[in-house]
Amino acid sequence: MSVAAIQRVELDTGFWADRIRINRERTIPHGLDQLRDAGNLDNLRLAAGAAGEYRAPDSLPFLDSDVYKWLEAVGWELARKPDHDLASAADDVIGLIAAAQRPDGYLNSYVQVVGGGVPYRDLSWGHELYCLGHLIQAAVAWHRALGDDRLLTIAIRAAGHVPDGIIDGHPNIEMALVELGRVTGDRRHLTMALRMLDLRGRGTLAGAARFGAAYWQDHELVRDARSVAGHAVRQLYLDCGAVDVAVELGDDRLLAAVRHRWDDMVRTRTYLTGGLGSRHRDEAFGDPYELPPDRAYAETCAAIAGVMLAWRLLLATGDACYADAIERTMFNGVLPGISLDGTRFFYTNPLQRRTRRAPGGTEQRRPWYPCACCPPNLMRMLSSWPRYLATYDDSGVQLHQYASADITSGPVRLRVHTGYPWDGRVTVHFVETPAKPWTLSLRVPRWCRSATLTGPDGTHAVGAGVTKRHRRWQPGDVVELNLEMPARITEPDPRIDAVRGCVAVERGPLVYCIESADAPRRTEIEELTWDPGGALTPVPRPDVAESVVGVDVPMTGGLTAGAIPYLAWANRGEGGMRVWIPYEPVIRAAARWSRGRSAAA
């Protein structure tokens, strides 16, 4: 049963409002500075005819896309609230893009300046359609949020330049084309997206020797593949496009193929944090249950793409499992990608950082990256986050994510109050409501073992999944959902080899971790083992950030370590961290075997 997003969701206080405010006030201006400093804007100037040298670290050809993602974020922000400086900066950037576009509609600064002006020559590595996809997404955002069609005009002309029968090594264009078709009503964009999907898995892209065809999603037909494979972001963006096409065409078989891959991915290749992609070498999904915590790649962009895909599946099906995944991934997979102050970013998101490490690692957040896909992806994700909270259909309104917010859907206006994710009480006030009966649906997260719903008809225990209340609502009605959130121990699936003999601490939707800063005096976190005989104790942690609830975790030897939410890690120095905490191994041993202990050799 498909549902539709509610566009008018306004957050003013609480966890997510704070995050969105930091994104607006700190991260997006920081992003503009970085785009200027890194040369992304100058590159567009060169394409528009200015003189100078093109800047592309490591010859990366996709720097335009970072500009488009930044613009998409700015579009959402200007719609939320006008801002003269931001609008003016965006106007300049849009002007640059317009000036860079060729008379024939083609637009890609790298190809125009460095690549001899010959389009689509290196579809495997070139990222031309990938960049175009991000341009289209920014254009659609500006059209939808602001009714501003400057970017849309550019995007339509650029899309019109793309010949039939080609695909890109990095999927992204597919979902963008569907959106462009929705906005313009021009079915040709949808047809092209469908054709691009159907061309994959036929060996179209050359040069697969290095990482194999799965690297650019050309290893298997989109309709046939039973599991995710290859470069994680590419796989997930591709599946976003597949869902979009399936929904537009009512193609149930295509939708079922994506759902099957998603189920398999969540079961076998998803980190506890919602992180996706376990291999550094080719940024790829690994074997089933290959989920190393220390060498987790778990690219921030992959977590974002995971949210985008789960959201599309939620809209297509209404199934709460996708909202559960969005919650887990946003809190624990996406947010750790950005520092609490909003100006430093992780590209990879390991679940363990050793106190002592090899030189030259990638374990610190940085202000920017040579390949800077993640930072502006975070910006657009956070800017558009309010639209992920609630949906509607003919039966009523569905609340999927909990934040203090005003939600308006047609004649319904709800006011939600909550201290989520620190507190599990969610109060929904009915501010405006039509006279006829309708259904309010509330998600009870799968992590919750005990929940109650209090409404006009009293208090009732509710189980995980979706709980619904159908009635003739009155303005002034109040519904209160109470999600108990004791700190809890989570054991890994025994097939995950890399974290055998460990447990994790969770509370509510949050995954916790132990950092060096919170290890008992004179111990390193690598020396700690969990004591199953002790109790987990939630404690306020204002030292980490306002409102944060930590969990004191009992360790053997009478020690205690203060776990903090993983989303707040790496904001207090460069020490070690671990999500999965070992417990002392016990072998039920008959001493019949000769026993040795070997470090290695």
User: What residues between 157 and 196 interact with a copy of itself by CB under 8 A?
Assistant: none
Tokens 């106007």 locate to 91
Interaction between residue 492 and a copy of itself (CB under 8 A): yes
- Minimum Å distance from CB 558 to a copy of itself? 15
Rank residues 115 and 534 by Cβ distance to a copy of itself and give the closer one.
534
- Minimum Å distance from CB 361 to a copy of itself? 8
Q: Which of 143, 261, 328, 541 binds a copy of itself (CB under 8 A)?
A: 328
Q: Around Cβ 476, how many Cβ atoms within 10 Å?
A: 9
Q: Read out DSSP for 311-374?
A: HHHHHHH--HHHHHHHHHHIIIIIGGGB-TTSS-B-SS--SEE-SS--TT---S-BS--SS--H
Q: Restricting to residues 343-372, which ones interact with a copy of itself according to CB under 8 A?
A: 352, 354, 356-361, 370
Q: Restricting to residues 270-299, which ones interact with a copy of itself according to CB under 8 A?
A: 270-272, 274, 279-281, 284-295
Tokens 């909990």 locate to 402
Interaction between residue 54 and a copy of itself (CB under 8 A): no
Q: Which of 51, 521, 558, 593 binds a copy of itself (CB under 8 A)?
A: 593
Q: Is the dihedral of CA 422, 267, 552, 544 positive or negative?
A: negative
- Structure tokens, 531: 């004591």
* String of contacts with a copy of itself for each residue 194-213, x by CB under 8 A: ---------------xxxxx
Nearest to 385 by CA among 91, 93, 40, 27: 27
- Structure tokens, 402: 């909990």
Q: Which of 137, 329, 377, 383 binds a copy of itself (CB under 8 A)?
A: 329
How far is Cα 564 from Cα 561, in angstroms, rounded to an integer? 10
Rank residues 162 and 272 by Cβ distance to a copy of itself and give the closer one.
272
Question: Three-state SS for 128?
Answer: helix
Interaction between residue 105 and a copy of itself (CB under 8 A): no
Which residues have CB under 8 Å from 5's CB, separation 6+? Answer: 315, 387, 388, 390, 391
Tokens 């096409």 locate to 245
Rank residues 283 and 477 by Cβ distance to a copy of itself and give the closer one.
283
Interaction between residue 494 and a copy of itself (CB under 8 A): yes
Q: Restricting to residues 516-575, which ones interact with a copy of itself according to CB under 8 A?
A: 526, 532-536
- Minimum Å distance from CB 412 to a copy of itself? 31
Nearest to 216 by CA among 188, 226, 431, 203: 203
Instruction: Name the DSSP class of 126.
Output: -
- Minimum Å distance from CB 189 to a copy of itself? 31
- Structure tokens, 192: 């092209």
- Minimum Å distance from CB 284 to a copy of itself? 7
Interaction between residue 498 and a copy of itself (CB under 8 A): yes
Interaction between residue 314 and a copy of itself (CB under 8 A): no
Interaction between residue 465 and a copy of itself (CB under 8 A): no
Rank residues 156 and 519 by Cβ distance to a copy of itself and give the closer one.
519
Which residues have CB under 8 Å from 256's CB, separation 6+? Answer: none
